[in-house]
Structure 1
């Protein structure tokens, strides 16, 4: 009776070991891919911040000097964003402009570091930044 119980336990330990290794493997995939996506997102955030600040340079200087009002020149701001964002694979998804504020939304598709079977090998990351012009009081 002892040998039969021992052989049944050996089979259970094998199943538990295989299951444990599968769970550990999935955790490694999730951690590696999310870390890579996080780092790429940080780069895209920095690029979006710079693009928004560059677009804020599209101040309509004529309006500012004549009336003292801050108004962004829409076409100039969009042109400045497109000049600033030259990174291959990065798309300017949106440039929205109000009188004294510009918002830039960038998108980029990235390859995942580890691709498990059945998963997509690419994902999309998005970053958005806003720059606002104000007059010192």
Structure 2
């Protein structure tokens, strides 16, 4: 009977650890979703506006995104919002579609699991993606 009680206690403890770790992963992914969406919006906005809009006006057909301007504005957004401090080890990549109208930002950060389940990886990584489109409306 003692062996069975110890076994059930072990299984229960592993179940609790699994739920706690899964909850932590979910919450961090939700936070990274917000970070990725904000970075994509900022990248699309500032990557398309640039100085050309002020000197040459808004083009009639579309706003062109420049990769360097988008990456710089995404990085500035992550710094200004404190994302690097909140998610140590945060990294990002930026994709611009062929038509240069959509910005997609992929963010990744290490996940610090509160409890360790035997057999689970020592370091986990969580990622999220956000995108924004730039279009001229008249």
TM class by shorter chain equals 0.7 to 0.9
CA gap of 1:25–1:66, structure 2 versus 1, over 3 A, is: closer
Counterpart CA distance in 1 for 2:59 and 2:4 is 77
Aligned pairs for 1:17-96 (under 5 A) are: 17-57=5-45, 58-59=47-48, 61-62=52-53, 65-86=58-79, 87=84, 88-92=88-92, 94-96=93-95
TM-score by length of 1: 0.80
Distance 1:66 1:36, change over 3 A: closer
Higher gyration radius (CA): 1
Q: Structure 1 unaligned runs (5+)?
A: 1-12
Length, aligned pairs only: 124
Q: Secondary structure at the match of 2:120?
A: coil
Gaps of 5+ in 2: none
1:37 deviates by 1.0
Structure 1 residue 112: Cα displacement: 0.9
Instruction: Tell me the CA shift for residue 117 of structure 1.
Output: 4.3
Distance 1:109 1:127, change over 3 A: same
Deviations 1:3-30 (A, max 9, x none): xxxxxxxxxx222212211110110010
TM-score (norm 2): 0.79
Deviation at 1:64, TM superposition (A): 6.6
